[in-house]
Amino acid sequence: MEIVIVGAGVIGLATAWRAAAGGAAVTLVDPEPASGASAVAAGMLTPVSELTYGEEPLLRLGLASRERYGAFVAELEDLTGLGTGYRTDGIIEVAFDADDLGHLDDLRRFQESLGIPVEALTGRECRRAEPMLAPGVRGGLLAPEDGSIDPRRLTPALLAAGERTGVRLVRRRAAGLLVERDAAVGVRLDDGTELRADRVLLAAGPWSGDLDGLPSGTVPPVRPVKGQVIRLRARTPFIARSTRGIVKGSSVYLVPRADGEVVVGATQEELGFDTRVTAGGLWELLRDARELLPGITELEFAEVSAGLRPGSPDNAPVMGPTALPGLYVGTGHFRNGVLLTPVSADILAATLLDAPVPDVAAPFAPDRFSPEVTS
């Protein structure tokens, strides 16, 4: 089985590794691997958030992925000798007023109804867990099984794992899809080279629909949703675990790394393919982060960046075969692509190899949008 995968973000990289490990000859095409959202993401691994209310299939997918993470990382680190910054020290979410406390209480009940462990904390307990929290914190929730990973260490490890498993990396842009007798048979690169394959997977984030020659309607529309993040640096440990809060209605989080980096995120803006960093975006993040953890103003400034989350029409992933034989899609992971990497790689590799696909994948098939194809 020869497979071409377009896009080497977390989804394309992990799928390439898994498909090659399953026996396929995989070519991964990307002019600049891991240069999209995967290079910007904070890397929180948290299946439950305010956005998953009423989204049970997505929640199940997130839980299935979080469950796989430990073994996934162990195999990856073992194979490559590279670390990924994976940690499972929980995520704390705090509230400052009665409205937000009520909101956290709803979230706790929702999680408990699904059998997900979560601990309600008083303001004092929150500060005991995270002494740098603002004195005004009234209460919070600790999700003890959540955690984080450093996407900037995960992607080099995935690249190395692919290399060791026989994935061929082509550092070029896929410009067009090759279609013969109503089936995808490969891609054309931007230098005109043709790469032939039995199957083509589009995993190029919000650029997944950009190839020339894609019959209209085959790939569901995926839009870019901009997110700005700030990276700070602490000389001594600042927070023990990822810490989130709702500050006057807007949500902010801080994710610590073992080397002292603290990632502050993230804005959510619908501005098309725009990755400019703006004064307003930075101000908003720093303002809200300071309300949550006043001591952040003492940390060293390291970097600011913006990335584009791939958002499908229902903000859930789109994974599986399209209506065009030979053409597959793996994108739309929106705010959760890092969390969803292990389960997505399992789903997409199994689909490409005609192996049994995990049941949690069923709600995310591309044909839930528009199955018709017109050339």
Binding site for ligand FAD (CB under 6 A): 6-12, 29-30, 32-38, 40-44, 173-174, 203-205, 207, 210, 227, 229, 265-266, 307, 309-310, 331, 333-339
**Residue at token pair 């899809």:** 177
In the complex, the smallest distance separating the C-beta of residue 7 from ligand FAD, rounded to whole angstroms, is: 3
Q: Which is nearer to ligand FAD, 3 or 101 (CB)?
A: 3
Complete DSSP assignment for 299-331: SEEEEEEEEEEEE-TTSS-EEEE-SSTTEEEEE
Amino acid at 319: M
Residue 173 backbone dihedrals phi, psi, to 5 degrees:
-85, 135
Q: Which is nearer to ligand FAD, 101 or 293 (CB)?
A: 293
In the complex, the smallest distance separating the C-beta of residue 52 from ligand FAD, rounded to whole angstroms, is: 12
Q: Which is nearer to ligand FAD, 101 or 184 (CB)?
A: 184
In the complex, the smallest distance separating the C-beta of residue 6 from ligand FAD, rounded to whole angstroms, is: 5
In the complex, the smallest distance separating the C-beta of residue 212 from ligand FAD, rounded to whole angstroms, is: 10
Whether cis (ω within 30° of 0) applies to the bond prior to 266 is yes
d(CA 334, CA 204): 12
Distances (CA, A) of 365 to 185, 210, 339, 341: 21, 20, 19, 16
In the complex, the smallest distance separating the C-beta of residue 336 from ligand FAD, rounded to whole angstroms, is: 4
Say how many C-beta atoms besides its own lie within 10 A of residue 270's C-beta.
10
Report helix, strand or coil for 258: coil
Could you give the residue ranges of the DSSP H alpha helices within the chain? Answer: 10-21, 56-80, 98-113, 123-129, 151-165, 279-292, 341-352
Q: Which is nearer to ligand FAD, 119 or 269 (CB)?
A: 269
In the complex, the smallest distance separating the C-beta of residue 97 from ligand FAD, rounded to whole angstroms, is: 25
Q: Which is nearer to ligand FAD, 111 or 344 (CB)?
A: 344
Q: b or e along 212-239 (b: 16 or more beta carbons within 10 Å of the residue's beta carbon)? A: eebbebbbbebbbbbbbbbbbebeeebb
In the complex, the smallest distance separating the C-beta of residue 335 from ligand FAD, rounded to whole angstroms, is: 5
In the complex, the smallest distance separating the C-beta of residue 61 from ligand FAD, rounded to whole angstroms, is: 12
Q: Which is nearer to ligand FAD, 13 or 118 (CB)?
A: 13
Q: Which is nearer to ligand FAD, 259 or 372 (CB)?
A: 259
Q: Which is nearer to ligand FAD, 45 or 247 (CB)?
A: 45
Distances (CA, A) of 134 to 63, 120, 123, 204: 31, 18, 10, 40
Spatial CA neighbour of 254 closest among 133, 341, 345, 126:
133
